[in-house]
């Protein structure tokens, strides 16, 4: 461990444990039964949350249904909805530090990345506000002199939003403002491991003037809260981000009511590096891609596919950069990689690494849990593994940690085949100075997003989502906004009726 960079514990006055409550029909609701979150980095209780059950979930869904049917949000103008969303964006920016510190303590991610996540989410709210004002349908005046056709877009109704622990505030902001912009009402369940930033969002919504019942929050576990949110007949849509396994369960559970389901699931995302690429920039992007958010990211570039002529040199570059990445105390402003979310997940990551080594892969760096002075062992070393074959579990399954696997290729066709040889299809990247190589790869790669000569750049205007077992539907952008809308055709006869009567009188 002497050849990696470790930030030991810094002096920091931790805030009191956050008290989380449900938000139902505009009121904060407590429970006698609660659950605690122990910080993965600091080993102390950082939040105590109300434990929701069937009663609270039913009440939240009923509030959302009542609010939607009353039209107090769904039938007001886009201008009025946009005004509230813009206020929320301003309030987010005014509360970045408070929210980011709590998210860091619950998730273990570096404080600098939590600040970027929370502050950056404001832009999603502002973009959603713009969509609320500019949404429109179509008109068809070419159907005949006495006919007019109009296609309108209505809010889908009550939406269940179920979010994960790795980007709790960002992913909520990929869903919630777009659902609200469309005129929907919602019930939100955050992960039980990172519930507090969602409750803080509820506080901002009330301050911004969102009417009671439009956004309801229920804290608790997948069973019974998430399960009921997926099956209740008064819910019109479920949007979920998390594991592929849970996404499949939600799809199955929701089938009884044929409600719409949008899923953003796992990924095993490759970056493909050709010999003519800018190798310095590519190595930096690969290093960022695998260690960002402790590697606990659906977009993590956890596998690289490198041309065999440059593989040895490129791996050496990434290993050298990895030694300089700062692992350790997530409350240190300079830390780049923090703690693993749970001890069980840390052990799972280590199991993948040890199994790969036993199968013949070579550990170029790391390969073990990491002890950080003053913070314990819920960390994992920066790990690079070469001589990986495509059949190994570590090359095919989502490790969700700071672990990079290296495969090699000889031709473009082989690189594309390796890219597509996966159950997942969330994102992919290509590095080459040949525009023809980049374009061909981009068109043939089975992925919802393809980056060329960059990695993980995203914008509110661009839709996000995957293919195959990485999910269905899209988030953010206009396509993500339209997930929350239903299309309705209005067929109107105007002016003189020129039809030939169907019933001939006196015939």
Q: What is the domain partition of the chain in residue ranges?
A: 5-264+476-489, 270-452
For residue 69, give both structure tokens: 């049917």
Strands 5-7 and 147-155: unpaired
Nearest to 184 by CA among 464, 477, 485: 485
Checking if the pLDDT of 416 tops 70, the result is: yes
Mean pLDDT check: name the lowest of 198-207, 234-243, 492-501.
492-501
Q: What are the pLDDT digits (tens) for 264-295?
A: 999 999 999 999 999 999 999 999 999 999 99
* First and final C-alpha spacing in the chain: 98
Could you give the CA distance from residue 387 to residue 233 in angstroms, rounded to a whole number? 51
393: number of Cβ within 10 Å = 12
Q: Which residue has the tokens 């980056």?
A: 451
Report pLDDT for 506.
75
Checking if the pLDDT of 7 tops 90, the result is: yes
Q: What are the pLDDT digits (tens) for 477-500?
A: 999 999 999 999 999 998 777 778
Tell the burial category of 64 from Cβ atoms under 10 Å away from its Cβ (0-12, 13-18, 19+). buried
Structure confidence at residue 2 as a pLDDT band (50, 70, 90):
low
106, 192, 264, 364: the active-site residue = 264
Report pLDDT for 1.
47
Q: What are the pLDDT digits (tens) for 367-398?
A: 999 999 999 999 999 999 999 999 999 999 99
Note if the pTM is more than 0.85. Answer: yes
Report pLDDT for 502.
84
Q: State how far the alpha carbon of 477 is from the alpha carbons of 127, 155, 465, in Å.
A: 8, 16, 11
SS (H, E, C) 240-271: EECCHHHHHHHHHHHHHHCCEEEEECCCCCEE
Tell me the chain's radius of gyration from C-alpha atoms. Answer: 25
298, 398, 438, 475: the active-site residue = 298
417: number of Cβ within 10 Å = 14
Q: Calculate mean pLDDT across residues 139-167.
A: 96
Alpha helices in 421-476 (DSSP H): 435-444
Q: Is position 397 annotated as part of the catalytic site?
A: no
Mean confidence (pLDDT) of the chain: 97
**CATH T-level fold of 5-264+476-489:** Aldehyde Dehydrogenase; Chain A, domain 1 (3.40.605)
Superfamily in which the 270-452 domain is placed by CATH = Aldehyde Dehydrogenase; Chain A, domain 2 (3.40.309.10)
Q: State how far the alpha carbon of 74 is from the alpha carbons of 79, 235, 239, in Å.
A: 12, 15, 19
Structure confidence at residue 361 as a pLDDT band (50, 70, 90):
very high
Q: Which residues contact 362 (CB under 8 A, 6 or more apart)?
A: 385, 386, 387
Q: Is position 298 annotated as part of the catalytic site?
A: yes
Check if the beta carbon of residue 74 is closer than 8 Å to that of residue 46: no
């Amino acid at each position: 461990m002497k050849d990696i960079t470790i930030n030991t514990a810094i002096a920091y006055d931790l805030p009191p444990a956050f008290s989380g409550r449900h938000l139902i029909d505009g009121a904060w609701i407590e429970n006698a039964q609660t659950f605690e979150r122990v910080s993965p980095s600091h080993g102390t209780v950082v939040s105590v949350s109300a434990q929701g059950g069937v009663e609270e979930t039913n009440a939240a869904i009923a509030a959302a249904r009542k609010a939607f049917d009353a039209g107090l949000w769904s039938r007001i103008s886009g201008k009025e909805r946009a005004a509230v969303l813009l206020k929320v964006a301003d309030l987010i920016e005014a509360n970045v530090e408070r929210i980011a510190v709590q998210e860091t303590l619950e998730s273990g991610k570096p404080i600098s990345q939590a600040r970027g996540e929370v502050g950056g989410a404001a832009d999603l709210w502002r973009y959603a506000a713009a969509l609320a004002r500019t949404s429109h349908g179509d008109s068809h005046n070419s159907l005949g002199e006495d006919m007019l056709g109009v296609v309108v877009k209505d809010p889908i109704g009550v939406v269940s939003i179920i979010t994960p622990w790795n980007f709790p505030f960002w992913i909520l902001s990929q869903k919630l403002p777009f659902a609200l912009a469309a005129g929907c009402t919602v019930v939100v369940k955050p992960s039980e491991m990172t519930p507090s930033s969602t409750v803080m969002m509820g506080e901002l919504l009330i301050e911004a003037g969102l009417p009671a019942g439009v956004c309801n929050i229920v804290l608790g576990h997948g069973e019974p809260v998430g399960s009921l949110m997926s099956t209740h007949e008064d819910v019109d849509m479920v949007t979920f981000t998390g594991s592929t396994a849970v996404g499949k369960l939600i799809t199955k559970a929701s089938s009884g009511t044929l409600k719409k389901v949008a899923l953003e699931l796992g990924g095993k995302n490759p970056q493909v590096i050709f010999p003519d690429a800018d190798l310095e920039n590519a190595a930096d992007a690969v290093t960022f891609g695998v260690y960002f958010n402790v590697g606990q990211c659906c977009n993590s570039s956890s596998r690289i596919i490198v041309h065999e002529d440059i593989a040895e040199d490129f791996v050496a570059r990434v290993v050298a950069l990895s030694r300089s990445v700062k692992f350790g105390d997530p409350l240190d402003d300079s830390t780049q990689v923090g703690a693993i979310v749970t001890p069980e997940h840390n052990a799972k990551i280590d199991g993948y690494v040890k199994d790969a080594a036993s199968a013949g892969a070579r550990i170029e760096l790391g390969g073990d849990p990491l002890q950080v002075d003053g913070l314990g062992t819920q960390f994992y070393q920066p790990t690079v593994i070469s001589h990986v074959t495509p059949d190994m579990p570590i090359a095919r399954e989502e490790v969700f940690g700071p672990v990079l696997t290296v495969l090699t290729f000889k031709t473009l066709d082989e690189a594309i085949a390796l890219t597509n040889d996966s159950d997942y299809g969330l994102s992919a990247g290509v590095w080459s100075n040949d525009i023809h190589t980049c374009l061909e790869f981009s068109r043939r790669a089975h992925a919802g997003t393809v980056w060329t000569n960059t990695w993980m750049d995203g914008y509110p205007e661009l839709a996000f989502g995957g293919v195959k077992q990485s999910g269905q539907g899209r988030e953010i952008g206009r396509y993500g906004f339209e997930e929350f809308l239903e299309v309705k055709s209005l067929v109107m006869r105007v002016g003189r009726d020129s039809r030939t009567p169907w019933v001939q009188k006196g015939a």
